[in-house]
């Protein structure tokens, strides 16, 4: 890693210096930028700001070497701990009982189209009012998060409640930058997050979107990953999100 740091950081600093030179940034502007970054740190928004501005670029780079299903941004709301293993349903917050029912299902295959059994899929998404458990409003982390395993045919299926488009936090410095200074919005289309893992296969982080949903293709995080926009299908009143994944082998990726 230190070799990579030696390669990347001087170029990064020089790229920033060139922007400062090109725009003839003044001492006052430099101090204002400095103060902004301190504000981002104090608001604990470093993950939010970086994900909103740069995560989609890392995805773009990753996808240059990826076969099968392309990757998408992870976002800042993954909880880096073991998700509960679920077989039928993600835990639903009691007050969401009347929200729209949803089935998340699909299959995992390899590049040859053969089913991948025993793949682990972490699934997480917002509440029906756009909040994340374990992150917002003291919502218990058990809700709307779970790990499913594919069966012998590579299939998985769980029920949940349909999430909605939501605004990333916009009352702090990230929202101020996007909305006030850059004239952008702070909305993400409704989506479901996935992290697919299987021994011998390359991990896949992804998101599925709802066809026709607000902000699909106009995401504040600038992801243009539209491979997994799921058609609007209902079964017995439940929104069906059919999300299939194709995994490639776990190659060793060369930095060169």
Helix (H, G, I), strand (E, B) or coil at 132: coil
Residue for token pair 């936090």: 169
CB of 79 to Fe ion, least distance (A): 12
Query: Strand pairing of 101-110 and 238-242?
Result: parallel
- Which residue spans within 23-181 are E strands per DSSP? 101-110, 120-125, 145-149, 155-161, 166-167
Of the candidate spans 71-79, 95-103, 110-118, 136-144, the one that interacts with Fe ion by CB under 5 A turns out to be: 71-79
CB of 247 to Fe ion, least distance (A): 22
Rounded Cα distance, 174 and 128, in Å: 24
> Per CB under 5 A, does 146 bind Fe ion?
no
- Name the residue nearer to Fe ion (CB basis): 75 or 169: 75
- Number of shown-chain residues binding Fe ion (CB under 5 A): 1
Of the candidate spans 2-10, 67-75, 92-100, 234-242, the one that interacts with Fe ion by CB under 5 A turns out to be: 67-75
Measured from each CB, the residue nearest to Fe ion is: 75
Of the candidate spans 29-37, 68-76, 82-90, 198-206, the one that interacts with Fe ion by CB under 5 A turns out to be: 68-76
- Name the residue nearer to Fe ion (CB basis): 75 or 154: 75
Of the candidate spans 74-82, 147-155, 176-184, 232-240, the one that interacts with Fe ion by CB under 5 A turns out to be: 74-82
Query: Strand pairing of 233-235 and 238-242?
Result: antiparallel
Rounded Cα distance, 79 and 146, in Å: 11
Residue length of the chain: 256
Find, among 229, 104, 209, 89, the residue nearest to 155 by Cα. Answer: 104
CB of 179 to Fe ion, least distance (A): 19
- Name the residue nearer to Fe ion (CB basis): 154 or 175: 175
Of the candidate spans 15-23, 61-69, 75-83, 196-204, the one that interacts with Fe ion by CB under 5 A turns out to be: 75-83
> Per CB under 5 A, does 189 bind Fe ion?
no
DSSP tag of 164? -
The residue within the footprint of Fe ion, chosen from 75, 76, 146, 213 (CB under 5 A), is 75
> Per CB under 5 A, does 163 bind Fe ion?
no
CB of 191 to Fe ion, least distance (A): 6
CB of 194 to Fe ion, least distance (A): 11
Using CA atoms, how far residue 58 sits from 19, 20, 68, 152, in Å, is 21, 24, 18, 33
CB of 126 to Fe ion, least distance (A): 6
CB of 159 to Fe ion, least distance (A): 19
Rounded Cα distance, 65 and 71, in Å: 11
Q: Which helix (H) or strand (E) holds 4?
A: helix 2-22
- State the sign of the Cα–Cα–Cα–Cα dihedral 80, 86, 88, 92: negative
Binding-site ranges for Fe ion (CB under 5 A): 75
């Amino acid at each position: 890693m230190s070799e990579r740091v030696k390669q990347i950081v001087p170029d990064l600093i020089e790229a920033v210096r060139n922007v400062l030179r090109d725009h003839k940034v003044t001492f006052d502007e430099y101090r204002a930028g400095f103060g902004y970054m301190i504000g981002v740190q104090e608001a604990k928004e470093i993950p939010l700001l970086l994900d909103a501005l740069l995560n989609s670029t890392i995805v773009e780079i990753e996808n240059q070497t990826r076969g099968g299903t392309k990757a998408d941004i992870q976002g800042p709301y993954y909880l880096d701990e073991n998700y509960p293993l679920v077989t039928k349903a993600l835990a639903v917050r009691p007050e969401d009982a009347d929200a729209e029912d949803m089935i998340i299902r699909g299959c995992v295959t390899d590049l040859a189209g053969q089913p991948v059994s025993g793949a682990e899929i972490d699934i997480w998404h917002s509440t029906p009012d756009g909040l994340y458990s374990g992150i917002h409003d003291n919502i218990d982390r058990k809700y709307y998060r779970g790990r499913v395993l594919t069966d012998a045919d590579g299939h998985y299926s769980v029920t949940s409640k349909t999430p909605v488009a939501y605004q990333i936090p916009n009352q702090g410095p990230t929202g101020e930058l996007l909305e006030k200074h850059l004239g952008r919005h702070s909305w993400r289309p409704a989506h479901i997050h996935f992290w697919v893992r299987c021994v011998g296969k390359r991990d896949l982080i992804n998101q599925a979107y709802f066809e026709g949903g607000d902000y699909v293709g106009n995401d504040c995080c600038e992801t243009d990953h539209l491979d997994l926009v799921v058609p609007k299908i209902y079964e017995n009143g439940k929104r069906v999100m059919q999300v299939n994944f194709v995994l490639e082998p776990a190659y060793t990726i060369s930095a060169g």
